[in-house]
Amino acid sequence: MAGFDDAGVKLPAPHFLGHRERLKDRFTTGGPDAMPDYELLEMVLFRAIRRGDTKPIAKQLLARFGTFAEVLSAEPERLMKVKGVGEAVATELKIVHAAAMRLMRGKVINRPLLASWSAILEYVRAAMAFSDIEQFRVLFLDKKNQLIADEVQQEGTVDHTPVYPREVVKRALELGASNIVLVHNHPSGDPTPSMADLDMTKKIIEAGQRLGVAVHDHVVVGRKGHLSFRQTGLL
Residues 6+ positions from 217 with CB-CB distance below 8 Å? 181, 182, 228, 229, 230, 231, 235
In angstroms, rounded to a whole number, what is the distance separating the alpha carbons of residues 150 and 181? 9
Is 3 within the bounds of a domain?
A: no
Low-confidence ranges of the chain (pLDDT < 70): 1-17, 156-161
The structural domain count of the chain equals 2
* pLDDT, position 7: 55
Is 14 within the bounds of a domain?
A: no
Say whether both 161 and 69 belong to one domain.
no
Look at residues 125, 100, 108 and name the one whose alpha carbon lies nearest to residue 225. Answer: 125
Cβ of 3: how many Cβ atoms within 10 Å?
9
Say whether both 118 and 79 belong to one domain.
no
**Can you give the CATH number for the domain in which 133 is found?**
3.40.140.10
Say whether both 96 and 117 belong to one domain.
no
Q: What angle do CA 70, 75, 78 make, to 5 degrees?
A: 90
* pLDDT, position 192: 92
Is 2 within the bounds of a domain?
A: no
Task: With beta carbons less than 8 A apart as the criterion, state whether 72 and 37 touch.
Answer: no
- The pTM assigned to this predicted structure is 0.78
Is 8 within the bounds of a domain?
A: no
Look at residues 120, 133, 119 and name the one whose alpha carbon lies nearest to residue 222. Answer: 133
Say whether both 142 and 58 belong to one domain.
no
- Model confidence pLDDT, tens digit, residues 164-218: 899 999 999 999 999 999 999 998 889 999 999 999 999 999 999 999 999 999 9
**Can you give the CATH number for the domain in which 52 is found?**
1.10.150.20
Say whether both 206 and 150 belong to one domain.
yes
In angstroms, rounded to a whole number, what is the distance separating the alpha carbons of residues 71 and 181? 27
Residue after which a domain boundary falls, among 103, 137, 170 = 103
* pLDDT, position 15: 54
Query: Which structural domain, as residue segments, surrounds residue 74?
Result: 19-103
Is 92 within the bounds of a domain?
A: yes
